[in-house]
Chain A
Amino acid sequence: MLIEFNLNREKITVDAPPDITLMALLRDYLGLTGTKEGCEVGECGACSIILDDKLVSSCTVLAPQVNGRAVMTIEGVSEPDNSPNDLQENFIDYGAVQCGYCIPGMVLAGEALLTKTLQPTRADIREGISGNLCRCTGYQQIVDAIEGTAQERLAKQNKEQAS
């Protein structure tokens, strides 16, 4: 069937079977392998994407369910020239990356949180990434990176409002 949706700010139409997951659509039909497979039961968050404004595990969504909606994957987070955005830069700077397998999902979890608030507490950040498992980092430097980005974005927003 034809599935029409907005993918990383571009309208696309893709022909795919109706019974596959959004994760399979992204990885196998669109070649977007930044979305990782970790458990296929919606527990690990490695396949997280942002659907409209909400963080969801793409393994728990059927591909046709995204018809007419907006999907953001890790490939849509970076700057137009493919350089990392501020949150991705901070993941590097704060040492939040080890094996990297959970990181695309973690970055998206961070983005989903930061669209809701730029003044999250560390507990809010932990809550925001609690659906994303990481076995390497103990989460601390990931929380640091999201916290640092929130502060920078808030300062930037305040500066823009002041001027």
Chain B
Amino acid sequence: MTKNRTNIGKPTRRVDALSKVLGTAKYVGDYKLPGMLYAHALRSEVPHARIVKLDVSPALAVPGVKAVITSDDFVDNGLYGYPKKDKYMLAYQKVRHVGEAIAVVAAETPQAALAGVQAIECVVEGLTAVTDAAHALDPDAAQVGPDRDDDKHPNLLDTFIVRKGEIEPQFENSDVVIDNHYRVSPQEHAYIETEGALAVPAPGGDIVVYSNSQTSFITRNNLVSVLGMSEDQVRVIQPVVGGAFGGKDDLCHEIAAQVAALALKTEKPVRMTLSRDESMIASYKRGSMEMHIQLAADSDGTLHTCKVESRQDSGSYASVSPFIGWRASIHAMGPYRYNACQIDVTEVYTNNGYAGAFRGFGNTESSAGIEQAIDEMAEAVGMDPIDFRLKNCLQLGAELVYGQMLTDSVGLTECLNEVRQTSGWDQKRKTYANHNAQSKIKKGIGVAAVFHGVSLGAEGEDFAAGTIEINHDYTINLTSGLTDFGQGSRTVFTLIAAEELGVRPERIRMLRPDTDTSLYSGPTVASRSTVLGGNATRTTAQNLAHMLDLAAANLLKCDVEQLLRVEEAYVGPSEEPVTWENVVDHARLMGMILSTHGKWVAPEIAWNEHSGRGMPYFAYHFGAQVVEVTVDTGTGKTDVVGVWAAHDVGKVIFPQGAYGQVYGGIAQGLGYALMERVDYDLGYIQNTNFDEYLIPTALDMPDIEASLIEKHLKVGPYGAKNVAEPAMVPAAPATLNAIYHATGRRVRDLPANLERVLLGHDLRKAGDSTACKLGLLAKPPNN
């Protein structure tokens, strides 16, 4: 049977855009049920303390207050976490960061909930806070991490290594060595919708929770565990989600558990949505990282050795930092070939908030260091930064330092050549020196490259599943266990199902994630939706298409191979078309149940954590970006005036969405480069709203010219790979390289704010910044 590709890679409208432009899309904070209670949390105002008294009975005496919960209300005190169980749904015995929730009040009004929180008697005894990651493993450092049964420091979270050959002889015998330290700051996700959940008691003691977490199944599994319920008693539904970027996991699971416990206790619906200040104080961030990078090359520009020692601050809890540290180690050397390589990543506990998943997941951090070091090496050997990268970068057939051969879909050279051309690189690199000699406004242009492992890699089992069903009105219901919080995967899955079934996408209703109707597919992270969820959708739809083909062949009295499709209709050898609806009816007459499911499991990979070698991912994304800046040497102000991006994303399925991911990723990367820093001063967060934590506005963004390079991946759906995370990664180092090109002075600490660009160091702040600026108790919760 022959089919033309009609949906894949063609301009399409996003399936969920209409309700969003009309303002009718319902986010969790937009739900209001009769009798619904409002929940508000008591949060720690200190970075590290023992809870010596927690008496909630005064809160229960406040008019309107219906219930209060503490860690006592959960099984095993609400201990949860993956891969490491070290956090509680509400603080148990100790608080380890400012903003950690201690108790939650449910009341008839937000004002009463707040009054209840204020009435709780909570006495804490301060403990020494560990706020400098460099000293977290000192023998006398206060214990932040959990007790451990070996002789290692309890503040050591994890270590990761990558090894190839012996680096020492290589450094000794090399012509040029680069040896520098780089630092990146904590970054706030700044999704415009804050975290929240609504729990609704259901008949028989069951519970339904609307949660804006990224992965409804993980929320469900956590609820099952801490509430002591069975899977069939807990249903989690994901409403429309207002952005996530990796940030809507742990805290969202906690809020879901808190409102669920309160709803079970009160037998009423309970909702909690965080104010912006609460969200910024309580949520996890991208963790800070310090990198010591040493590179060695021959004078002809052949790069041959890389050594990186990184220390990541995970803050007070592990969250998914062990996975982040692993990905940071795998990408620490950048997309280049080396004879020898030695990577060591150490993660420590401190009382600086806590760190977790954020777009790029360790690679954003690692690349901010290595892509500057690569530029420094290019200069040291007297080569143009793009020429140097082209000479040393990964190509088809190259061996990655871990021993894995690149045998499919490698488009880095094409990406570098593309941005060189679209940005006018060669001419600008040549002429800006003359301009800068005569002007206080300096111009500069910089480049960075990226590779990024597709999906989870060695983080865990890697599969996704979907379902599809034809309804009696000939519409089609499609589900996926992977969720869409804005990135566009619902549209990607709709297009794939339409393609395989040969129907108009308008027939398909891509349902929202619901643990009662969709199938577990692992977490919605790691830019894995298109490849994993796309392949699962494709398999599911192919299973259904196969049934319909058999029915059509039966109806048209021919073999399946003789069938043709003309738009939706089936045509047999007699050339008399029958409608898709006729085929569906006939299939039902034949006794077929037109409902299928499908699962796709990623190709096997292998990683040896002891040798630091193996095959960490089954495929890689490649990309390059050029950023052009002007720097005012009077003020230190950097303006980004142009960005050119090229990303090898494999086959593009939903072009508008793919470009949107590139533009949005670049915006987050430019913010990371120039203005975004969550400042923990002695463990006290200093930026608690958008007046203190600045993210790029439309005025901070230039027009971006993006190119999508389609190096088809054999195992990807139609050849597709990934885009969401790697789109962010090169923007920051390319910006820093551009600033250096403009000013001749390198800023190795992100962000490159005014004082760092102008003075080369931070300005000291006067006064005491440890005064609690939470304002949590002074402000009523949302209603």
Contacts and interface: CB of A to CB of B under 8 A. Distances in A.
B660 A98 contact: yes
A71 to B, nearest CB: 14
Interface string A130-147: 111111111111110000
A129 B699 CA distance: 8
Contacts of A104: 21, 23
B666 interface: yes
Contacts of B485: 99
Contact of A93 (B13, B23, B189): B13
Contact of B690 (A36, A41, A130, A139): A41
Nearest to A108: B23
Given A43-B690, A78-B22, A141-B659, A99 B276 contact: no
B701 A39 contact: no
B245 interface: yes
Interface stretch (B235-243, B340-348, B551-559): B235-243
Interface string A80-103: 001010001001111101111111
Interface string B211-247: 0000000000000000000000000000011111100
A92 B691 contact: no
B264 to A, nearest CB: 26
B192 A44 contact: yes
A134 B191 CA distance: 8
B14 interface: yes
A138 B689 contact: no
A142 B660 CA distance: 10
Interface string B695-732: 11111010110000000000000000000000000000
A126 B698 contact: yes
A133 B698 CA distance: 8
Contacts of A103: 20-21, 23
A93 to B, nearest CB: 7
Contact of B21 (A97, A132, A135, A139): A97
Nearest to A145: B21
Contact of B659 (A41, A92, A95): A95
Q: B17, B194, B668 — which one has the most chain A CB atoms within 10 A of its CB?
A: B17
Given A91-B17, A100-B240, A141-B663, A74 B22 contact: yes
Nearest to A131: B697
A97 B690 CA distance: 22
B14 A95 contact: yes
Contacts of B639: none
B704 A43 contact: no
Nearest to B24: A34
Interface stretch (B26-34, B502-510, B520-528): B26-34
Given A97-B14, A99-B242, A138 B704 contact: yes
B773 to A, nearest CB: 13
A137 B660 contact: yes
B667 interface: yes
A73 interface: yes
Given A101-B193, A130-B697, A39 B18 contact: no
A46 B275 CA distance: 13
A33 interface: yes
Contacts of A129: 698
Contacts of A137: 660, 663-664, 667
Interface string B469-494: 00000000000000001111000000
B782 interface: yes
Contact of B703 (A46, A99, A140): A140
Chain A contact residues: helix, strand, loop or mixed: loop
B174 interface: no
Contacts of B656: 94-95, 141
Interface residues of A, number: 56
Interface string B661-674: 01111111000000
B190 interface: yes
A112 interface: no
A136 B698 contact: no
B37 to A, nearest CB: 15
B245 to A, nearest CB: 7
Give the secondary structure class of B's interface: loop
Given A100-B486, A102-B192, A34 B668 contact: no
B714 to A, nearest CB: 28
B192 A135 contact: yes
A141 B698 contact: no
Nearest to B704: A140
Contacts of A41: 276, 689-691
Contacts of A10: none
A139 B701 contact: yes
Contacts of B699: 126-127, 130
A122 interface: yes
Contact of B243 (A74, A131, A135): A135
Nearest to B485: A99
Given A34-B24, A88-B21, A107-B21, A99 B697 contact: no
Given A28-B783, A98-B487, A40 B275 contact: yes
A115 to B, nearest CB: 18
Contacts of A126: 698-699, 701
B14 A92 contact: yes
A37 to B, nearest CB: 6
A41 B23 CA distance: 21
Contacts of A95: 14, 656-657, 659-660
Interface in B184-204: 189-194
Contacts of B667: 135, 137-139
A33 B30 contact: yes
A75 interface: yes
Given A44-B192, A92-B13, A139-B667, A75 B23 contact: yes
A140 B17 contact: no
Given A99-B193, A136-B664, A91 B698 contact: no
Given A84-B21, A98-B664, A133 B192 contact: yes
B25 interface: yes
Contacts of B29: 33, 37
A133 to B, nearest CB: 6
Contacts of B488: 98
B782 A37 contact: yes
Contacts of B14: 92, 95, 97
A73 B245 CA distance: 28
A108 B457 CA distance: 43
A43 B192 contact: no
A44 B14 CA distance: 24
A38 interface: yes
B16 interface: yes
A91 B656 CA distance: 12
B192 A36 contact: yes
A101 B242 contact: yes
A133 B690 contact: yes
A150 interface: no
A56 interface: no
A101 to B, nearest CB: 3
Contact of A98 (B13, B486, B690, B697): B486
A77 to B, nearest CB: 8
A44 B22 CA distance: 19
B168 to A, nearest CB: 44
Interface of B: 13-14, 16-27, 29-30, 189-194, 240-245, 275-276, 485-488, 656-657, 659-660, 662-668, 689-691, 695-699, 701, 703-704, 779, 782-783
22 contacts: A28-B783, A33-B29, A38-B194, A40-B276, A40-B689, A41-B689, A78-B22, A84-B21, A91-B17, A92-B14, A92-B18, A100-B17, A126-B698, A126-B699, A133-B695, A135-B664, A136-B486, A138-B663, A138-B704, A141-B656, A141-B660, A141-B663
| Top 4 closest pairs, chain A to chain B, by CB | A34-B23, A99-B486, A100-B20, A101-B242
Given A40-B779, A92-B14, A143-B703, 11 more contacts: A38-B194, A46-B192, A92-B17, A95-B656, A97-B14, A98-B660, A99-B485, A130-B697, A138-B662, A138-B665, A141-B659
